[in-house]
Amino acid sequence: MNIQEALEIVSQTHSGMVRSHNEDSVIYDASCGLVVLADGMGGYNAGEVASGIAVSVLSTEIKHHLESVRPEDNDDSGEEVGVALLRENVQKANTSIYSAAQSQPQYAGMGTTIVAGLFYDNRVAVAHVGDSRMYRLRGETFETITRDHSLLQEQIDGGMISKEDARLSKNKNLVTRAVGIDAEVAVEMNVYEVQIGDIYLLCSDGLNDMVEDEDIGSTLQMLQANLPLAAGQLIEMANDNGGRDNVSVILIKVNGDFAAPRSWLAKLLSWFKN
């Protein structure tokens, strides 16, 4: 099955009930299995500019590269092309945003979080920086597969504060990494096996700050037969709970197998390996 047939993807974004404009940007490209969500920050419209640059750099560059290379192959350094493409283009977005911020005073200090996934060969490569998240619903289990780059997450990891108490923290909005605020950025990369029936959720903190993980998970579980409705329902829940921030979601449902087609030689080699 090709990737476009194997994945069902929907996205939705909303400015919320308090903010006048939307600094989140989302984009997806079903033909190459790419999903990108960015939550911008900075004065006036700089946040929108930063998140907009990030999603457009990732989508145009990765789509362009995938016309000539295959994500499941290894590059010269032995790394998978899909992983390298994601990382390099988050860094490229970082450079674009950083230089725009340096040259235009109204953009000084702008930045963005990012979470991006590239699906290929029954796997998903995930890149993230900051506190935008990716979750996975597999069977009954709903969990985050990204770990926030935030002060609060560091405190949780360090045992200073329990997960339950973390909800009460006033340090929620402090991210320890962002795209575009420095000349360099450290991108966290992970690769996960994908199973048929999995549902992946990418979201900005406007969702997970307003709606408990448990409620997000049960909503996906109940409405998985209708993905657009599930996306709309998540946004509606965030807004019904106060909608204090922009809220964006991308949902990806895995409907089929999308193993990379292999040549007879590759099949033979892998048969020998096993």
Chain contacts with other proteins (rule: CB under 8 A): 17-19, 39, 41-44, 46, 108-109, 111, 113, 130-131, 151, 154-155, 160-161, 165, 167-178, 181, 205, 209-212, 215, 218-219, 222-223, 225-226, 229, 233, 236-237, 240-245
Choice between 11 and 112, CB closer to other proteins: 112
Cβ-contact 86, 116 below 8 angstroms: yes
State the nearest-atom distance from the C-beta of 237 to other proteins, in Å: 7
Angle among Cα 229, 231, 232 to the nearest 5 degrees reads 65
Q: Which residue has the tokens 């390996």?
A: 273
d(CA 170, CA 88): 34
Q: How far is residue 205 CA from its own chain's centroid?
A: 12
State the nearest-atom distance from the C-beta of 57 to other proteins, in Å: 19
Backbone phi, then psi, for 106, in 5-degree steps?
Answer: -70, -15
Choice between 122 and 224, CB closer to other proteins: 224
d(CA 152, CA 131): 10
State the nearest-atom distance from the C-beta of 165 to other proteins, in Å: 5
Choice between 76 and 164, CB closer to other proteins: 164
End-to-end CA distance of the chain: 24
State the nearest-atom distance from the C-beta of 110 to other proteins, in Å: 8
State the nearest-atom distance from the C-beta of 71 to other proteins, in Å: 30
Q: Which tokens is 10 given?
A: 């929907």
State the nearest-atom distance from the C-beta of 137 to other proteins, in Å: 15
Choice between 125 and 239, CB closer to other proteins: 239
State the nearest-atom distance from the C-beta of 229 to other proteins, in Å: 6
Choice between 18 and 266, CB closer to other proteins: 18
Closest to 148 (Cα-Cα) out of 162, 164, 132: 132
Cβ-contact 223, 230 below 8 angstroms: yes
Closest to 198 (Cα-Cα) out of 141, 159, 242: 141
Which regions of 15-101 does DSSP assign to beta strands (E)? 24-29, 34-41
Choice between 144 and 241, CB closer to other proteins: 241
Cβ-contact 189, 86 below 8 angstroms: yes
Which 3 state secondary structure label does DSSP give 179? Answer: strand
State the nearest-atom distance from the C-beta of 37 to other proteins, in Å: 14
Choice between 143 and 240, CB closer to other proteins: 240
Q: Which residues pair with 251 in a beta bridge?
A: 10, 201
Q: Which residue has the tokens 């307003």?
A: 210
Choice between 127 and 211, CB closer to other proteins: 211
